[in-house]
A and B are shown apart, each in its own frame.
Chain A
Amino acid sequence: DAKTTQPTSMDCAEGRAANLPCNHSTISGNEYVYWYRQIHSQGPQYIIHGLKNNETNEMASLIITEDRKSSTLILPHATLRDTAVYYCIVRRGFGNEKLTFGTGTRLTIIP
């Protein structure tokens, strides 16, 4: 599995956009970028995924660089409930491949 690198922690003011970076310089052509998060005492929650185009859903936006070596997860209007550990994971899509969790980024939303 390709490795990802994320900052250990970040703070963001409530109501502002939270931008979480991820480096995945060894990503393969058939690997997708996935984002999950884990809110305290809950199971991981899927957020979004993409291959090379930018993606947006009701939770977040995913911006992938043209060379696919890095990406940014954007939470457009962060709320206190977005405080969680965010995991950037690369994996083959549609292959039921296991998820390889790293240490993630601990995002704290400040009131």
Chain B
Amino acid sequence: EAGVTQFPSHSVIEKGQTVTLRCDPISGHDNLYWYRRVMGKEIKFLLHFVKESKQDESGMPNNRFLAERTGGTYSTLKVQPAELEDSGVYFCASSQEPSLYEFFGPGTRLTVL
């Protein structure tokens, strides 16, 4: 069974540009989460989808971040415009409903210059 996949693995962009990260959860997993670790900080929750609905988006830092999950399958996280402090590793995780624990993807390393 394929695990959680994320694309791209690395992205380097300039400040002010737009970047879109993609997450493909494990097939059949209704729950999808986004987390991130910015430089020197702890891993922080961003938001949680149940199917295509946003269950909890309390961790989204500001309105430059937009997450979507059309059709309840894969999800995208768009950062527009990107700022220097957005640099870090963005993780996606998925779980079944009801869930005991999540499976994490390998992450996307975002560097904003």
Q: Which residues of A contact B (CB under 8 A)?
A: 34, 38, 41-46, 49, 93-94, 96, 98-103
CA–CA, A43 to B102, complex, Å?
Answer: 11
Given A43-B106, A45-B104, 10 additional A-B pairs, CB 8 A: A42-B107, A43-B4, A43-B105, A43-B107, A44-B93, A96-B99, A98-B56, A99-B102, A101-B44, A103-B42
- Is A96 a contact of B50 with CB atoms below 8 Å? yes
Q: Total contacts A to B, CB within 8 angstroms? A: 50
By a CB distance below 8 angstroms, the chain B residues around A45 are: 104
Q: Which residues of B contact A (CB under 8 A)?
A: 4, 31, 33, 35, 42-45, 48, 50, 55-56, 59, 91, 93, 95, 97-107
CA–CA, A87 to B19, complex, Å?
Answer: 30
By a CB distance below 8 angstroms, the chain B residues around A43 are: 4, 91, 93, 104-107
Closest to A101 in B: B43
